[in-house]
Structure 1
Amino acid sequence: MNSKKIMQKSIGFYFNFLSYTHPKKLKKDGFRLFCNPFARKLKPHQLEFLQKGISDTLTLDGYKIQTYQWGNGSKKILLVHGWASHSFRWKAYIEYLVKNDFTVYALDAPAHGLSSGKFIHVVLYAKVINAFLESHSDITSIVSHSIGGFATTYFLDHYKNHSIEKAVIMCAPGEASDFFDFYKQSLGLTTKSVNIIIEEFEAQLGELPSYFSSAKFAESITVPALIIHDKNDMATNFKYSVRLNKHWKNSQLLLTEGLGHDLKSKELVKKVADFVTH
């Protein structure tokens, strides 16, 4: 058994022990682990690239959110990264879009990149997206990846007063309950432990995990969307994007092969730019 597996089983044993001895502590610790991205620090070359943009901070609910702007083109676009990532993941997009008459904005989610905080969840991320767009009402397109795509779908369903006219959702997960299944399995949690953590999830987010379903959120969205997923994605199953496309009335689905979860491809960058432009 490798060290990661040993660590996971140790955490699971500790949480299962707490479920009997100190359920209140389990609620707090379990929810924190569930929302902790363990995001990596920016590397020097990543920081160097990001600093070429105009840096700013957005203050929201005690968080300091790092934001960036590149270019000054007539078309305005916001890029929203995924779990344990940051704005540098959009480097290829930023470089292409700036050359093609875009003003490009990106933000680091709470607990990611240069933003403050230790935790992230879909409701908080959507709130950050909304706050940023409220102060940049000329942005008409949003491109999102992974949990950023889940948060964007939630945002478009829950916040109706926005300027977004086109959305791109890449490799997004589909169900919050899947995360609990993953933690239960990988940590070896008992059903009792999971249910205690879910109680805290509901207290913090106002809904049970089953409420957080991208397909359900999509049913009320009228914004045209391009939904992209790779068939070989090992992080999130492409079946979620197939289902999202069925529920999102004004959407088109693009399935790739061999690009994995990161979806790094010059051709794809151009397709995304073409979609939000036309």
Structure 2
Amino acid sequence: MKKLKQIIQDVKARVAQSNPDEMNDLLWPLICYPPKMPLRLQQEQLLADAEKFSVVVPDPYFTQQQLNINAFKWGNGKNKVLITHGWGSKAADFDGLITALLTNTDLQIVALDAPACGSSDGELSNLLLFVNATKAVIAASGKPDIAIGHSFGAMTNVKALSELNVTPTLLISIAPFILLQENFIKNMTAAGVSPMAQQNFLEDFKARYGICPSYYNMSDLYIFDTDLDHWLAYDEQDMMLPDVYLQDFLKEHPSIKTKNYSGAGHERIIKSAALTNDVAEQVRVALADK
């Protein structure tokens, strides 16, 4: 978190003295640096108990190098569960949920540290790197029967599974990202970046990637049939992702089942005992009906 705070301070200092055309060099780290938090003792133990493997993905966006992406397996069950974390998070942040799911001996659980997150290579990241890393982990470990994603990881799962033409038995989305560009704008506005400098950054994004960040809209990315068993957990008080975005998405996809964990918080929701119990039950029922 210390580095992210320094990035924000540098942006705020530059805002007061720079031409908007000169801001992009600082805005890329502001948008693309995922903060890292150290492992807690129980998380270290969880990873020590895992079977570790790694995949390699190219990074044409920041380092122009190959990145080693670390992933983890627990259990030997016939049904695979993929867990994809959110921005600035890591596989071990699902320690409570993974521990709960491991009581089901029919499961094998796979989780990864996305590029620039946890123990994996990289310092800057983006959705494309998250998606490519997730696809590589699926290729190495097998197609998931159940896919669980939190926040940025929920959007990652939707994009990665769609590109692989994989439809899981159960998709679980926890506090999912809905509109990526709006999140960029929110972060830049919070740092005091002018509308002109923001627009310059969005145009630079399009120039680099050949696509506008507005393309990453969950409503457009979501191409699953209505018969997909999709369960979505959210907090209508989520301060990170405005509930209005989620409700608009749900109106377009009424087949998605939802549960509101009011007051759980965007980051803390994955630590909720109530959510952990509900996810375990959703998994049990989905596999019983398989």
Deviation at 1:137, TM superposition (A): 2.5
2:44 is aligned to 47
- SS of structure 2 residue aligned to 1:60: strand
Q: Deviations over 1:198-244 (max 9, x none)?
A: 122213333112211112222x2223311110123222233333333
Identity %: 23
How does the TM-score come out when normalised to structure 1?
Answer: 0.87
Q: Deviations over 1:34-61 (max 9, x none)?
A: 1101222334442232111111111111
Match of 1:57 among 39, 54, 58: 54
TM alignment of 1:94-105, pairs within 5 A: 94-100=98-104, 101-105=106-110
1:212 is aligned to 216
Deviation at 1:80, TM superposition (A): 0.7
2:62 is aligned to none
The yes-or-no answer on 1:268 pairing with 2:278 is no
Deviation at 1:95, TM superposition (A): 1.3
**Contact conserved, 1:78 with 1:106, CA < 8 A, in 2?**
yes
CA RMSD of aligned residues (A): 2.4
Aligned counterparts of 1:96 and 1:43: Cα–Cα separation in 2: 18
Aligned residues: 270
**Contact conserved, 1:143 with 1:168, CA < 8 A, in 2?**
yes
**Contact conserved, 1:140 with 1:164, CA < 8 A, in 2?**
yes
The yes-or-no answer on 1:116 pairing with 2:121 is yes
Match of 2:192 among 182, 188, 192: 188
Deviation at 1:79, TM superposition (A): 0.6
- SS of structure 2 residue aligned to 1:204: helix
**Contact conserved, 1:171 with 1:238, CA < 8 A, in 2?**
no
Q: Match of 1:136, as an amino acid?
A: S
Aligned counterparts of 1:65 and 1:5: Cα–Cα separation in 2: 26
Q: Match of 1:139, as an amino acid?
A: P
Change (3 A) 1:122 1:102: same
2:170 is aligned to 166
**Contact conserved, 1:175 with 1:210, CA < 8 A, in 2?**
yes
Q: Deviations over 1:148-174 (max 9, x none)?
A: 1122223244x0432533211111121
TM alignment of 1:124-203, pairs within 5 A: 124-157=129-162, 159-162=163-166, 164-203=168-207
- SS of structure 2 residue aligned to 1:78: strand
Aligned counterparts of 1:154 and 1:136: Cα–Cα separation in 2: 18
Q: Match of 1:275, as an amino acid?
A: Q
The answer to which of 116-125 and 159-168 deviates more is 159-168
Deviation at 1:7, TM superposition (A): 7.4
Aligned counterparts of 1:88 and 1:6: Cα–Cα separation in 2: 25
2:87 is aligned to 83
Deviation at 1:16, TM superposition (A): 6.4
Aligned counterparts of 1:161 and 1:185: Cα–Cα separation in 2: 37
